[in-house]
Amino acid sequence: MADYYCEKCNRTMNENQFYRSNNLEKYPTGFLNQCKKCISMHVDNWKPDTYLWILQEADVPYVPDEWNKLLATYGKDPTKITGVTILGRYLAKMRLNQHRKYRWKDTEFLQQLNNSKIEETMRRQGFDE
């Protein structure tokens, strides 16, 4: 396992203290240049504008439905949840086979796809537009 340097706290740490990034042009090592603690310091799991920039840097799509599922599961007690809690799980989920091929640029497409599935389900249940 390699060690990486955090540009924010000026510490060298093990790679498991850093989030991965698919943007290899910007992050040739495959890891973001700030440690998990520093990069998620100001994340509010209920306010997308506090974490969307991280997803963009990691080059993973934002699928609100997936984020909200994790929030519902792990965010039951807001006093125990940190910026790392949901973000780390979300980034790990985006490495699974069904999401691995998608990048930040696919965010809008995936949201439209999800909305289409919801509309289709509602139509099948007898709801109209």
Higher pLDDT among residues 55 and 126, named by residue: 55
pTM: predicted TM-score of the whole model, two decimal places: 0.84
Per-residue pLDDT tens digits for 3-59: 999 999 999 999 999 999 999 999 999 999 999 999 999 999 999 999 999 999 999
Report how far residue 84's alpha carbon sits from residue 101's, in angstroms, rounded to the nearest whole number: 23
94 and 61 in contact (C-beta within 8 Å)?
A: yes
Per-residue pLDDT tens digits for 54-96: 999 999 999 999 999 999 888 887 777 877 889 999 999 999 9
- Structure confidence at residue 23 (pLDDT): 95
Higher pLDDT among residues 52 and 117, named by residue: 52
62 and 48 in contact (C-beta within 8 Å)?
A: yes
- Structure confidence at residue 128 (pLDDT): 66
| Token duo for residue 48 | 């997308």
- Structure confidence at residue 114 (pLDDT): 81
- Structure confidence at residue 5 (pLDDT): 97
Interacting residues of 19 by C-beta distance below 8 A, sequence separation 6+: 31, 32, 36, 39, 54, 58, 87, 88, 91
**What beta strand segments (E) does the chain contain?**
3-5, 12-14, 18-20, 31-35
